Amino acid sequence: MTIPTKTLGAVLYQPKEPLQVEELWLPELKPGQVLVDVAFSGLCHSQLLEVQGERGPDKFLPHALGHEASGVVLSVGHEVTKVAPGSRVVLSWIAGTGAAAPGPVYRNCRDEVVNAGPVATFLRHAIVSENRCYPLPTSLPLDIAALFGCALPTGCGLFWRKLRAKKGESLVILGAGGVGLSTLLAGSLEGCFPRIVVDIYPEKLALAKKLGATHTLLFDSEKIQSAVLELTRGVGADHVVEASGNIRAMESALALARARGGQVLLAGNIPAGERISIDPYALIYGRVLLGTAGGESVLSEDIEKLEGLYRNPHFPMEGLLGERFPIEKINTAMERLRTGALGRILISS
């Protein structure tokens, strides 16, 4: 197996500027690091916020991006035991077992430093920490596997581990992106009813219908509460998940849950420094407000569970796959994401 000395990567040099796709020199592996030939990398709003400079001051510029991917291991550093050359892997920002190695330092053709954290995946070949690698069976397609790094375990994990929703309980999802649709799949499999998906794009609502939504609503902050009440026999939803990253949606979410036990979970990302306003009486009447970090997913367990659901007709995870762009077109992909792309966009190497 030939080990490359260079790779192609998408680098953020300055916020609000396009990513620069350029050749980078690969450093020697340190103990606990793994070199991966990246097949597919998922693109989500957290990277979009980062590129737009909306996640606060960025002290690591210039740096590589990307947080979920699939690929094949090319080489491993000392002390790595979890994977080996030839292993098919999922890469994720969610840490698991294995060495917690430092991020690599790449260099561009001008011999300038390009930083990266323990995992960065918008590269043709990426050096990552062992604890961000998860072995994958040979039967699972690598495009689907890329979603195992964040979208699916976050959306399903928050359903399985935080909401613990049961058959027959009502579920409202605000935002039909990768995380929201993954929550929908989990809710559909469990038998929640009704399963109401809300978004600002009709095309996304049509996709949600295909993936198991029983009802869809175009978001209107003035009408959403009455619409949800009508669909839940006048009491509100048992569970509400905000996965849009929209401030108005976050502020509307609490009122959609039923009093005395209705749960509202905020999973969307909003720009750093922004604040939301909520009515405290909604909490006084017994509604529960929750947050989540990656759905509290334990990837070593959740990947195995998700693998078992592949090809399950009641869990059509392949429906989450969106448009594909080569890494050279990553800025086009970013713009498509910003303007409402369907499903999870994949970047291929």
pLDDT tens digits, residue range 86-143?
A: 999 999 999 999 999 999 999 999 999 999 999 999 999 999 999 999 999 888 999 9
Range 223-250 average pLDDT: 96
Q: Does residue 305 lie within any of the structural domains? A: no
Lowest mean pLDDT among 170-179, 278-287, 309-318: 278-287
Per the structure, the complete domain to which residue 178 belongs is given by 151-296
pLDDT band for position 328 (cuts 50, 70, 90): very high
Quote the pTM value.
0.95
Report the C-alpha gap between 150 and 153 in whole angstroms.
6
Range 171-178 average pLDDT: 97
Determine if residue 240 is left, alpha or beta; phi over 0 gives left, psi from -120 to 50 gives alpha, anything else beta. Answer: beta
Q: 29 and 104 share a domain?
A: yes
Note the pLDDT of residue 139.
84
Torsion from C-alpha of 136, 138, 139, 143, nearest 10 degrees? 60
Report the C-alpha gap between 34 and 337 in whole angstroms.
29
Contact 33, 333 (CB under 8 A): no
* Cis bond upstream, residue 62 (ω within 30): yes
- Domain holding 130: CATH number? 3.90.180.10
Q: 113 and 204 share a domain?
A: no
Q: 32 and 139 share a domain?
A: yes
Q: 216 and 270 share a domain?
A: yes
DSSP alpha helix (H) spans, 101-177: 142-146, 151-157
Report the C-alpha gap between 283 and 157 in whole angstroms.
24
Range 159-166 average pLDDT: 96
Q: Is the pLDDT of residue 306 over 90?
A: yes
Q: How many domains does the chain have?
A: 2
Q: 218 and 169 share a domain?
A: yes
Give me the count of residues in the chain: 349
Q: Does residue 309 lie within any of the structural domains? A: no
Q: Is the pLDDT of residue 284 over 80?
A: yes
CA-nearest of 239, 235, 103, 89 to 169 is 239
The total of other beta-carbon atoms located within 10 Å of residue 12's CB is 23
Note the pLDDT of residue 349.
81
